[in-house]
A and B are shown apart, each in its own frame.
Chain A
Amino acid sequence: MTLSPRIQEITSRRLNDLVLPTGGWSSEARSAALNRVQSLGLPSNRDEYWKFTPPETLTTAQVPPASLFVDVDESPVFGNIDRLKLVFVDGVFDAAASDQLALENVTIERLGESKDRDDHWGREVYGVLEQSGQVPVARPLAALNTAFATDGILIHVRGTPSKPINLVYVHSNETSDAILHHVIKVNPGAECTILESGPAAARFNKCMEIDIADGGALHHVRAQGRDHERRAATHMFARVAANALFKSFTLTVNGRLTRNEIFVELLGRNSMAHVAGACVGDGDFHHDDTVFVTHAAEDCKSRQVFKKVLRNGATGVFQGKILVKPDAQKTDGYQISQSLLLDGDSQFLAKPELEIYADDVACSHGSTSGAIDEGELFYLRARGIEQAEATDLLTLAFLNEAVSEIDNEELADEIQSRLAAWLMRHRPS
């Protein structure tokens, strides 16, 4: 495939400014990824999966600046949860602000630090899951990430650690352009929770590859920061073996542009993937969830639950696919994407897809877009609850189906309270 001159131009301009890290166990994967970006070309609005989200600001050589947001009115997300904290400032690991990279049953290393060990386990995952996620839909920003990531964390989960690992992303520079790549490998029967929080940078390109062996489980909960002007393109690639579990939930409030891609392959029998997200946007907010779940084995279960609350011209996008391969009999696939439009200016664009090649499957999908139900609102007001509070109550109820996908009650409460606080702050005056 030859690229159009326009795409070639965009791609080479972006790549020219980046330096390919060399040496060590990841260098082969990085050069291969560089070739991938060059042949795929960076995304443009002509690409089938970029029709609803303008990719331009994610691909420019120059970072569109984003002013810093100081959230004095809220304590840090997950701050009250017993966790191992690993801090990145504008995409650079900050050892002084972080806890020791030590937690029982887990080995944690910094991507840059382990780069010279040629036999590193990371070789089996780094860029490998990303590469397999390039088919059937190209994700060039993820390939760019694999090639040029400057930092990241390698987590090898060998058992079940007592507390979650929290990757905290601090944004301190108005023109920071961060590229982080994390790799997580979960051993058979092991189980771990990964938390992510914060805006990370003016522009953030993050890739996370997750390899879960038989009977393993990975729980992921993330809260993308409150910065209004930040931009982010994130990818998660998960490979799930037999009897294993992958669960991911994302909370997004604010942000000028967010594209979260999740690519999950259920490769072993009786495995499960739940991906969910709740986002709330007011004004200059564009949020895109692009999810691709492949059922490649029998008896697997997947759920996609995405809820968006939009007002004042905010835009929400959902592109979600369930692909069921011929051998994946007894697949149970569920997908729901819903938006609550709090006014007539906001919009929700949805592209739900099912592609099924097995005959004994149960798959359902639905997508709706609606306003607050007048009858429900009146009922609450008739009991003395003010209109603004009643609206918040109904909005939280709408989001609840996504939030309740989080197993851990403490984490679910944390997310719920952030949403409630956001709604309170964004009440129409």
Chain B
Amino acid sequence: MLDIKNLHVDLEEEDKSILKGVDLHVDAGRVHAIMGPNGSGKSTLSYVLAGRDGYTVTQGSVSLRGDDLLSLEPEERAAKGLFLAFQYPVEIPGVGNMTFLRTAVNAQRKARGDSEMSATDFLRMTREKAKQLQIDADMLKRPLNVGFSGGEKKRNEILQMVILEPRLCILDETDSGLDVDAMKLVAEGVNALRDDGRGFLVITHYQRLLDHIKPDVVHIMVDGRIAKSGTSELALEVERNGYADILAETAL
């Protein structure tokens, strides 16, 4: 499903390289977790995959279900089924959450050649999915993310994900800022979407989320590279010992 080969990325504005040869392959139906120290390039990877400006790919390639991802606009990537749950969801005053959701759903349907969803169908679907994530009607009416608490913003990201039903879901620290119950809700949301046709890339610092969302593979990113990959055991190891051992290994 997702094939990242030897990806090198520099910052556009300053002469600084962030990703230094990332190789990652995610098959449909699988959940991959990425852990790694602060500043190792996890969010940068997720932004580059989603198509944000400000980065220059100097080497390597990324393909999503056969398409050359890097040649597509962000909206085209979304229409192809890529979804990024942001580490820091953006507040947009003046754009209602509901209006935004509906515009996004219809934009993606249009890009795929489907007809627009009727207002009533959309409302019904959104209410139902919001309820599962314990997002109340008031939050749907408010301007997008404005004044939402940290946890509310994260739940709102997951709401967007379950409504848009993407093929590849990238979650960038969706668990940080969530209380124990909210983490469960988010994990349930993710697990409900798990199926043979869908892949996940879950960026996290904590083993706890991975208790709820069992990963098939765990990667450790260090200094812009995947330094180590393994089973969910690897996450437990990081939880126990931190990154010191892995850093020592990769430094060799």
**A-to-B contact residues, CB < 8 Å:** 374-376, 378-387, 389-390, 393-394, 396-398, 400-401
Contact = CB atoms under 8 A, between A and B. Distances in A.
8 contacts: A375-B90, A378-B53, A379-B86, A379-B89, A381-B78, A382-B50, A382-B86, A383-B107
B227 interface: no
Contacts of B90: 375-376, 378-379
Contacts of A389: 103, 107
A384 B93 contact: no
A384 B107 contact: yes
Interface string B74-114: 11011100001010011011110001100110011001000
B94 A396 contact: yes
A379 B89 CA distance: 8
Contacts of A380: 92, 100, 104
Given A381-B78, A397-B94, 12 more contacts: A378-B53, A379-B86, A382-B86, A383-B160, A384-B78, A384-B104, A384-B164, A393-B99, A394-B92, A394-B94, A398-B94, A401-B94
A381 B92 CA distance: 13
Which bracket fits the contact residues of B? 20 to 34
Contacts of A398: 94
Contacts of B164: 383-384
A385 B101 CA distance: 10
Nearest to B47: A378
A393 B103 contact: yes
Contacts, number: 73
Interface of B: 50-53, 73-75, 77-79, 84, 86, 89-90, 92-95, 99-100, 103-104, 107-108, 111, 143, 160, 164
B73 A381 contact: yes
Contacts of A390: 75
Contacts of A382: 50-52, 74-75, 77-78, 84, 86
A311 B94 CA distance: 21
Given A376-B90, A397-B95, A398-B94, A384 B160 contact: no
A389 B104 CA distance: 10
Contacts of A378: 50-53, 74, 90
B92 A386 contact: no
A108 to B, nearest CB: 38
B75 A397 contact: no
Contact of B108 (A375, A379, A384, A394): A384
A376 B74 contact: no
A401 B164 CA distance: 29
A374 B89 CA distance: 13
Nearest to B79: A384
B94 A381 contact: no
Contacts of A393: 95, 99-100, 103
Contacts of A400: 94
Nearest to B82: A382
A384 B160 CA distance: 11
Given A375-B90, A379-B92, A397-B95, A385 B107 contact: yes
Nearest to B94: A397
B95 A381 contact: no
Top 7 nearest A-B pairs (CB, nearest first) are A397-B94, A384-B78, A384-B108, A383-B104, A381-B74, A379-B90, A400-B94
Contacts of A396: 94
B18 to A, nearest CB: 17
Contacts of B92: 376, 379-380, 394, 397
Given A378-B53, A379-B89, A379-B92, A387 B108 contact: no
Nearest to B84: A382
Contacts of B99: 393
A380 to B, nearest CB: 7
Nearest to A388: B75
A302 B100 CA distance: 32
B111 A384 contact: yes
A383 B78 contact: yes
Contacts of A401: 94
Contact of B75 (A374, A375, A384, A394): A384
Contacts of A387: 73, 75
Contacts of B95: 393-394, 397
Contacts of B143: 397
Contacts of B111: 384
A27 to B, nearest CB: 50
A413 to B, nearest CB: 13
B154 to A, nearest CB: 14
